[in-house]
A and B are shown apart, each in its own frame.
Chain A
Amino acid sequence: MEPIWLSIKLAIITTIFLLFIGIPIAYWLSRKQSIFKLIIEAFITMPLVLPPSVLGFYLLLAFSPNNAFGIWLHRHFDLQLVFSFKGLILASVIYSLPFMVSPIKAAFAHLPGSMSEASYVMGKSKIQTFFYVLLPNIKPSVFTAAVLTFAHTLGEFGVVLMIGGNIPGETKVASIAIYDAVETMDYSSANSYALILFAITFVIVIGVFVLNRNAVKSPFE
């Protein structure tokens, strides 16, 4: 069961990181438009459309212990990001970023402008308005985004394969373990991993639908 636990651990850590990074980015993107923001948003969205191998390839190059950046990370932070769990976390954070940012950004943008104006007029700062008015009113979207990020990270395969490899207990997550088991004709292991992954993901998706049953739109729009 080690690969399943590793997948869950990776998904939880990635989701927590992305909550802290994604919410401020989403808020910033939902404010006034600019060319610069458009470009940043395009970069954030790229993992949605690119094959994971592209991202994995560039991360592999960037973090390679043979490259300047990789050497620098290793020397100053003792960080070895290729073929390590830490590297998987970083890759997952980049790879799942659009799943966290897009729904939250849309939710911020849908709040009427007068809502924050009403708070400013009452003498409240932008930060106070953010925490007392804006964020509480998009809670369902934040929750949906977190759950989708979790599920998406759980199902990650290509990026992990590229930069994580297949080290038991370190980078051998469930999706890789399935692939590995099929390669070695161990269909019963593959089946048990696949079934568990299927069950977990199914429950998560059902949960999202139940929580959003009052919403007009599907949470995946």
Chain B
Amino acid sequence: MARNRGDVTYVAELLEVERQKLMATLPLIEFKNVNFSYGSRVILNGVDMNISRGQVIAIMGGSGSGKTTLLRLIGGEAKPSAGSVSVAGRVVHELGRDELFKLRRKMGMLFQFGALFTDLSVFDNVAFQMREHTNLPESMIRDLVLMKLHAVGLRGAHHLMPAQLSGGMARRVALARSIALDPMLMMFDEPFTGLDPISLSVIGGLIRRLTDTLGMTSILVTHDIQESLRIVDYVYFLADGVIAAHGTPDEVRESKVPFVHQFVHGEIDGPVPFHYQAQTSYSQDLGVRTESGV
């Protein structure tokens, strides 16, 4: 039977379709003049950033520059002291606990060392979210878990415990666990740290392939320039609490911005100085009198 165009449900469905079309054209994540401090220490100072859907984005910067804080703000683990962070059109820090948890079900996060549950097997780690958030029968969960593990090349390791895995394998299991419910957004906190070149390349390849296959958006917080520039679509550099530079991998490689140049080429001295600022001069500290008196 043809739908009555005056039917309220029909109109609501049309509106929902239009809303989703509109949302698809908007950035998935929007940072608007975001400030964040730990006590008196300012971490972010007026960060503006838009992240489009379907891209792999890298956020780079020195240690303590606030990269991980950006991920915590997106996940709602921290609240900005000023400004707003929106994910899929919703301001994260304004959401109630239930709404935030509902949003988090559409997000995945890969922690620096995997953060696998050490008392659960590889299989149970990947099945964890499915068992917590769905009523799927165990037979279907088994099939889904094996599919996710197969996607990261570890179907054969489903019976192992986390303590029996290498660092790279643990990272891949954690990745399988993060994509268990097919998230719209994946966040990776230092995914390449401590990996050998093969594992590093495997993880990098998986991030790119899974992002494209599952239609996700991925954000990487990383120090690894070479691997990141190989797989990402866009890079943001964070320094002194602001976005110091941004661009495509090719633009970053050719950048003349001093900070970016120092970072990309691993130069020892530059805008990020080798020496931590001292209150007194070197010669004063050593008690040496120089001709200039310094």
Answer whether A and B are interacting partners: no
